[in-house]
Copies of this chain bind each other. A is one copy, B any other.
Amino acid sequence: MKLVAVIMAGGSGTRFWPLSRSSRPKQFLPIAGQKTMFEETVERLLPLLPLENIYTVSGEAQAKMIKELVPQLSKENILVEPQARNTAPSLLLATARVFLEDPTAVVAALPADHVILKPEIFRRKLKAAAAAAADGFLVTFGIPPTYPATAYGYIHYDRNSSVSFEAEPFFHVLSFKEKPDRPLAEKFLASGEYYWNSGMFLWRADAFVSKLEAYAAEWYGYFREILGCLEAKDETRLASVFGHLPVLSIDYALMEKAKGILVCPGDFGWSDVGVWSSLFDLWPKDQADNATRGETVALNARRCLVYNPGKLTALVGAEDLIIVNTESALLVCRRQDDQKLREIIEWLKKSGREEYL
């Protein structure tokens, strides 16, 4: 069985503003570890599969950064979407590309901007999930929830349906749930029947096509069109097809409708690193619980996250702050308020301050 990883690197978030910008989204920043999250995603896979089995899918701008970061990656493997239209179009394109080479290959669709603290467990699970996918299942990784998060979708699974691949347990998925409100999230957590939806999926290329045909006829049509473009090597037509695709996630387009989905419990130290405070959890801390990048002198300062490389930062009496200093902008944000950063972004957009985005 051939396993192919498709790293989805097209994101363009500003949740790590002012560090992440539309021109350099978080997967291309070394904010979680010493390397960029994209590089770490690639390196995490290499013990399991050769570089030629790693594909990326992204826009033109991100493809450039990918080439710079991993120059050994063949340009054949760097798939460029004509437009960013969420994950369903991306994964149709990538799966069509794999399908052309080997319809029985298993595709592992993996975001480029997630942190996995226990890569060995991840690889063991991924290998087992690939075996399940080779058996014809759609497979997803579910993250055992640790708090009633409202920022993630949930996966409702049948806990009496355990099946095993390569000695790893899998469960049948009952349904996908959108991001819940707080009371519902608390119910999900208490029930013990829900995982967070990690956005990582596996399928055999031909099984994916069958599932589209069976449960998402419209997308099956799109798949055939894309496949036709690839066979003909007609980039102009591909761009035109892409331009008409719905902007939709693969969760909506296929997962929520399909049957025969397994979830693999992903207890491998996953974090989607969605907000600055999630870095606070990841970075090493000094005795006063300050997590810093850049020389910092702290006097009665506690639990601060500082990103200010190349400069000196002096903290006096500061507590529970996120401090990020870049060439053009400085953010000082109370840690508990980092979700509100989007309001700053909205304001910048509304008031035409594109130079800061």
A interface residues with partner B (beta carbon < 8 Å):
17-18, 297, 299-300, 304, 308, 311-319, 321, 323, 325, 328-334, 336-338, 340-341, 343-344, 347-348, 353, 356
Residues of B within 8 A of A340 (CB): 299-300, 316-317
User: Is the pair B317, A330 in contact by a Cβ cutoff of 8 Å?
Assistant: no
User: Is the pair A318, B332 in contact by a Cβ cutoff of 8 Å?
Assistant: yes
User: Is the pair B297, A312 in contact by a Cβ cutoff of 8 Å?
Assistant: no
User: Is the pair A314, B337 in contact by a Cβ cutoff of 8 Å?
Assistant: no
- Distance to closest chain B CB from A117 (angstroms): 28
- Contacts A318-B321, A325-B325; A313 near B299 (Cβ below 8 A): no
User: Is the pair B300, A337 in contact by a Cβ cutoff of 8 Å?
Assistant: yes
Q: How far is the CA of A308 from the CA of B340 in the complex (A)?
A: 22
User: Is the pair B337, A317 in contact by a Cβ cutoff of 8 Å?
Assistant: yes
Question: Which chain B residue has the least Cβ–Cβ distance from A318?
Answer: B332
Q: Which of A323, A328, A332, A343 has the most CB of B within 10 A?
A: A332
- Contacts A300-B337, A325-B325, A337-B300; A316 near B344 (Cβ below 8 A): yes
Q: How far is the CA of A314 from the CA of B334 in the complex (A)?
A: 11
- Contacts A299-B340, A300-B337; A331 near B347 (Cβ below 8 A): no
Contact of A313 among B304, B332, B341, B343 (CB under 8 A): B332
What 18 new A-B contacts, CB under 8 Å, besides A18-B312, A311-B328?
A: A18-B314, A299-B337, A299-B343, A304-B332, A312-B328, A312-B330, A313-B330, A313-B331, A314-B329, A314-B331, A314-B332, A315-B332, A316-B331, A316-B333, A316-B338, A316-B340, A317-B333, A318-B332
User: Is the pair B299, A311 in contact by a Cβ cutoff of 8 Å?
Assistant: no
Q: How far is the CA of A305 from the CA of B336 in the complex (A)?
A: 21
User: Is the pair B333, A308 in contact by a Cβ cutoff of 8 Å?
Assistant: no
Interface CB pairs A-B, < 8 A, 30? A17-B314, A297-B344, A297-B347, A297-B348, A300-B340, A304-B332, A311-B330, A312-B328, A312-B329, A313-B331, A314-B330, A314-B332, A315-B333, A316-B331, A316-B332, A316-B334, A316-B337, A316-B338, A316-B340, A316-B341, A316-B343, A317-B333, A317-B334, A317-B337, A317-B340, A318-B321, A318-B332, A318-B333, A321-B321, A321-B332
